[in-house]
Amino acid sequence: MKNILLPNGLEVSEIALGAMMFGSTTSKQEAYEVLDMYMDMGGNFLDTSNNYAHWAGTGDESETLLGEWLRDRGCRDRVVLATKVGFDRHGKGAGLKKEQIEYWIDESLRKLGTDYIDLYYAHTDDPDTPIEETMETFDRLVQKGKVRALGTSNFDTWRVAEANCLANAKGFTPYSVMQQRLSYLNPKFGVAPAYAFNEVVGRERLRFLCDKNMPLVSYACLCKGAYEDPSRLPAEYEGGERLQFIRERAAEKGVNPSALVIAWLINLYRLGNFPRIIPLFSATPEQLRQNLNGLELTLTEDELREMNQIGCR
């Protein structure tokens, strides 16, 4: 697995591993197996949150398990660790106010058993809190050495632009990574996202990220396994010609469809007008092994353009 040097100075693997369900529906034994395999294959970019997975437990399970694994393996210095703040926990805790950020960074550091977070995401926008309060608080964490870099997840593009304009004017640390939904399938027009600011990445956002030299970490990029099992297709996505094409082309190349989606995502930047995209997903050990076959695929620019043109409206 190749490493990518991000504009913010972090050097991350081209695939990020999601730990959302680790410690809740994914057992400690299986989580350790996946983490060990990912690291053995050259991965270093781990993604969690301060509320994973509160719908299946308390919301502390993922960070706690990762902290145990980091201690047991003694590999904190070989990992780029991302976590988040600002989303709901059992109907409470949402927001990006000063006191919320300061409380939850210390809780995350405690559970993860570390002195610093490499990449700290605002997990979703908080329109009720002044941008300056949020950015000043995040910047203070960077100055104290608790956080190395900042990112957004589930934000409108214009809000990221406003936040970074203010950060630049005030001398605060800007957001330098965006995490948002993107996959090969087209979203259905007019279908509302599951929650506010949860939109699928569109062309305008991709152009913005490319212009700002800001990488995109694409979560939910494998559509809950729908590329292998179309019955799992999320309601907000179209299947049709694009799904049929990716499944047929993957069979021709001798890989599972998700592996080809991953290859498409990590190679899009070669065409221009696309940012660097880092697929983020979780998997069983066997799924991880199959999906990472996408790293070995060679896609020509003509193939990438053909893939982009299928099912275009």
Active site members: 52
User: Do residues 218 and 227 make contact, with C-beta atoms less than 8 angstroms apart?
Assistant: no
Alpha-carbon separation of residue 212 from 114, 161, 249, 276 (angstroms)? 31, 10, 33, 11
Find residue 217's DSSP bridge partners. 179, 278
Strand (E) or helix (H) holding 289: helix 285-291
- Total Cβ atoms within 10 A of residue 102: 14
The tokens 């995490």 sit on which residue?
179
**DSSP of 259-285, one letter per residue?**
HHHHHHHHHGGGGSS---EEEEE---H
Chain centroid, CA 84 distance in Å: 11
